[in-house]
Structures are given as structure tokens and as C-alpha cells.
Amino acid sequence: MSTGKLPSAFITTSWDDGHPLDLRLAQMLADNDLAATFYIPRKSQKETLSAEQVRELSARFEIGAHTMNHVYLDSCPPEKARQEIFDSKKWVEDVTGKSCTMFCPPAGKFSRLHLKMIEEAGFAGERTVELFSTALPRRIGTLHVMPTSIQTHSHGTSAYLRNIARRRALANLWLYIRFGAGDDWTAAAQRLVDHCKDSGGVFHLWGHSWEIDRHEQWQRLESAFRYLKQLTMQLPAITNGQLCVPSSTR
Ligand SMILES: [Zn+2]
């Protein structure tokens, strides 16, 4: 029997856009003892939670910034992008009364210039939409840039391969080939989190509550959460921010 120390592994989740259905999601997360970071803009093209609801959500979960108006940074003039980034940190902090250390650019659209702005605004980390990664956040300057593992949505093979090719992410391609087969995201999630348990790293599940609802994924989500819950003794469930500001938890 092996007496070797198991590699460090963690489970984290994140949920974008602050749609009112986030409250349903929050209840399911709480029921399954899972940690989460909700990236919430003040306004979006879709309905968003009220400031009071965001404050209530922040009692149990981390709130990250997602710009003020859910704008795509790459379609904004630099000054506007800068303002959206800086103001969103202050907005989250004013609403929650807590420091806001995480930022997520809408639709994963950002450039090096925006990374610099996110760093200058004082964020510790940025969550991207990179899929099929189990890597710890990567340092760029003082910023921790955080990939994800699985989105709660079944993309076609070509979408996964584009996501991987855009980043020339060979490690992600390897994980996709080994664990990504089939079009059921819950099956891929189980295989990938099992891989993290054995090999270490971060299993990061993310999504949008409005999208889960639109594609009737609530039952699948419930089963994925139950699977993750029984692993949290070995893979602690922590927020995105706790992974990017290690001194706060470990
Ligand atoms: Zn978004």
C-alpha cells in the first residue's frame, strides 16, 4: 500500500453574468458544500440580480467583477475598457463591503493590454474561458491568470478544438483526447475530476445559470454537484480567489 502523500488538488466553480437564476444555482451549491465565485456585472443584456441580492449572495460565496455593463473589452476603446475594469471592482466592493480580488472579462475577450489594466486595477486574478485545463493559475506580472476545466454546456468537438488551438495548449489537447470524448459534459467532468484526484491540479467547473436553464441542464448539474461533493474530502472546494491568493487559505 502506498504511503506517499497525495498531490494537491482542488475543486473550484465559477458562474457568470449575475442572472436571477444564480440564486437557484447558489442553493444547489450550498446543498452540496461547494465553493463558488460569481462574476457579476452591474448591468447586462440579460436580467441581473439587484444589488441587495448580490450582497446576500456574497455572504456565502465570492463575488468577482465582470465589467460594469457586460461589455466585450476587445470591442471597446482602451479608455472605456479601463473604466469598465476599474469601476467594476469598486462597484462589487461597494455592494458587498468586501474586497474584490477576481475579474472575468465577458465572453473571455481580452488582450495583453487588458491584462495590464486588470493588474493595475488591483485584481489578484483573472478567470479566462480556456477549457480542458487542470493547471493552477499562471502568473503574468502580479496577476494570476486562471483557466477552466469544463463548462456546463456540451460544445461540439470543433468548438473544443478551436478553444484549444487558439491557445496552442498541447496539455489541454492531451486532456481532451484522454477525457473529453462524447458530447455529455457531465461524463467528461467526472473523468477529469478523477484525473485531478490522482494527478493533482485544479478541477474548475463553470457556466451560466441562464444557459443551464435554456438547455435544461439542471438535473445534469445536480448529478455533477453530487459527484463533486463526495470528492471534497480529498479535493477541497475553494473559491477562484482562494486559488489566486494562496495565503488566504493555504
Ligand atoms: Zn458574461
Which residues span the domain enclosing 202?
A: 9-248
Residue 4's pLDDT is what?
Answer: 52
The reply to whether 227 falls in a domain is yes
Q: Which amino acid, 20?
A: P
pLDDT at 170 over 50: yes
User: How many other CB atoms are found less than 10 A from the CB of residue 23?
Assistant: 13
User: How many other CB atoms are found less than 10 A from the CB of residue 233?
Assistant: 7
Overall average pLDDT of the 196-216 stretch: 96
Confidence grade of residue 137 (pLDDT, cut at 50, 70, 90): very high
- Between the CA of 138 and the centroid of ligand 1 the distance, in Å, is 22
- Between the CA of 20 and the centroid of ligand 1 the distance, in Å, is 14
- Between the CA of 17 and the centroid of ligand 1 the distance, in Å, is 5
Residue list, CB under 5 A from ion ligand 1: 16-17, 106
The reply to whether 20 falls in a domain is yes
- Between the CA of 6 and the centroid of ligand 1 the distance, in Å, is 35
The reply to whether 104 falls in a domain is yes
The reply to whether 2 falls in a domain is no
22-52 pLDDT, tens digit per residue, is 999 999 999 999 999 999 999 999 999 999 9
Confidence grade of residue 100 (pLDDT, cut at 50, 70, 90): very high
The reply to whether 3 falls in a domain is no
- Number of domains the chain contains: 1
Confidence grade of residue 250 (pLDDT, cut at 50, 70, 90): very low
Determine the straight-line distance between the first and last CA of the chain, rounded to whole angstroms.
Answer: 28
- Between the CA of 157 and the centroid of ligand 1 the distance, in Å, is 22
- Between the CA of 146 and the centroid of ligand 1 the distance, in Å, is 16
